[in-house]
Structure 1
């Protein structure tokens, strides 16, 4: 009888403790000195109810996914109560956002293979990286009309210091539409630029401004005015409204899922910039590049 009574008392004592340890948030990205109840926080960790989050540093970043749906970012030093954070997210559940947040969670936990997404507009063609310069997208891909980044890199063994490049964008008949001298390894391209003359197919490459033999392959993408159907366009409009690091990370997953790889690459870069260079977001971008052979 005494044993049963002790067991019953133990259960009663355990109930509030278990409740206090309920998972409330999953960490998507963390940069800086960030702790929860004295323990360092890393991407993939769970934040429990009844705890606090302490953030220190000059440019910290913490990206969280709420267990019941919704996302949250913290970028200012301070102490945050998990219960208060939860209250602000109680009405933010969204099936569309949750779907792509789940993709991110799966990637963090390794619960799904990082296989190439089946592109809506057909398979992409990988670059073989035979040339000294390569872009961070497949050699053939798709893009929705918007602002995109064309980002490239030099192969190992190629001199990289203080280089200036020439970027060429042409139409199908090889007429030069844009020729720009670029310092650095990124060019921001507005696909609504009148100079592009509403061309459906664009071909582009980059070369060393001082040595045209140091050049990339000719890359190409098909330009789409929209997402292809009303449902995709509506979803895209909704996701674009979240101009945060997590918002752009979700957008990158959406673009990749729909086969718009150039836009996905750009969204990854924007997520990294807005998160102050979060290491996990950088790794996700690198994994994305590996999936497409760039």
Structure 2
């Protein structure tokens, strides 16, 4: 009985310690380290930091943290930091953010990456198309701007992007040398449409073309619901940083708003182009949602 009681107390202590973290590491660039119980070890994504720990940010390093209260914090200046010191910089946040940070960390774990790698190429895409648009065939969108990108084997620029309504009537045609374009869903040409169809072709080789993909505006009730949820996590929705954009990407993916997630990932990469963690997570996102 005494042994059982001791074991229960030990388990309770272990659980309490696991929950008593200060920050979680969402992204790390460089040879950063953490000092716990007097020993320095390499800092890894997903690590939990506690009040008594110390961080060392390497030269040209970067660390993206999220406090247990839901407040994101970027560490960019090289040097040593007491975790207690970093906690003092944190204002109030939203605990709901942890839902999305846990989602991000679960999708960037080594096991998940391994599963995504083994699944690559296993998807039956049906009819072959030389140009592959990095969007679901049917996708809702919350924001006004839809980033449309595409890939392919030996595809030839320039490209013709055709936007149609549901009756195959052409609304707009764009020509570009790039492999991406941004569509403004508030453009007068699309403003009255609830959904549009997008198709990409090579101008020099008409046989190189994509499937047709539908981009659908959210209905009023769904739009209000997403807007309210974003208000609940206003700590990341109001300030434009790479880390905030990264967390928003997780929010949009969980809500199956893949176009908005793509935009958020691209914002994170634009704001922190040298942090490979964001690029790698974007690639993993595309893989697990069969968008490559």
With normalisation by structure 1, the TM-score equals: 0.76
**CA shift digits 1:29-53 (9 cap, x unpaired):** 1123423345332312333433433
- Runs of 4+ with deviation above 4 angstroms: 109-115, 126-129
Number of aligned residue pairs = 260
Q: Is the 8 A contact 1:246 1:271 kept in 2?
A: yes
Check whether the contact 1:25–1:65 (CA below 8 A) recurs between aligned residues: yes
Q: 1:203 & 1:257 partners in 2: Cα distance?
A: 24
**Which has a greater percent of strand?**
1
In the alignment, which of 21, 34, 50 is matched to residue 52 of structure 2?
A: 50
SS of equivalent residue, structure 2 residue 268: helix
Structure 1 window deviating more from structure 2 (36-45 vs 142-151): it is 36-45
Measured in 1, the distance between the counterparts of 2:239 and 2:220 equals: 19
* Residue of structure 2 in register with 1:142 after alignment: 140
Match of 2:158 in 1: 164
**Contact 2:143–2:260 at 8 Å: present in 1 too?**
no
Q: Is contact 1:244–1:274 with CA below 8 Å preserved after alignment? A: yes
Q: Distance in 2 between matches of 1:253 and 1:193?
A: 27
User: Relative to 1, partners in 2 of residues 1:210 and 1:77: Cα closer, same or farther, differing over 3 Å?
Assistant: farther
Measured against aligned partners, the alpha-carbon deviations of 1:148-190 in whole angstroms (never above 9, x if no partner) come to: 2111111xxx225x83222111111222222111222121222
Equivalences for residues 160-239 of structure 1 within 5 A = 163-224=157-218, 228=222, 230-237=224-231, 238=234, 239=236
Which of 251, 254, 260 is equivalent to 1:257?
254
1:62 aligns with 2:63: yes
In the superposition, relative to structure 1, how do residues 145 and 29 fare at CA in structure 2: closer, same or farther (>3 Å)?
A: closer
Taking structure 1 as reference, are residues 110 and 40 closer, same or farther at Cα in structure 2, changes over 3 Å only?
Answer: closer
Q: RMSD in angstroms over aligned alpha carbons?
A: 3.1
Q: 1:97: which partner in 2?
A: 97
2:139 counterpart SS class:
strand
Name the CA shift for 1:210/1:61 in 2 (closer, same or farther; >3 Å): farther
Q: Distance in 2 between the 1:83 and 1:287 partners?
A: 33
Task: Name the counterpart of 2:268.
Answer: 271
- Structure 2 stretches of 5 or more lacking a match? 1-16, 116-123
Q: Distance in 2 between matches of 1:227 and 1:72?
A: 33
Give the aligned partner of residue 286 of structure 1: 283
Relative to structure 1, the CA distance from residue 286 to residue 113 in structure 2 (aligned partners, 3 Å threshold; closer, same or farther) is: closer
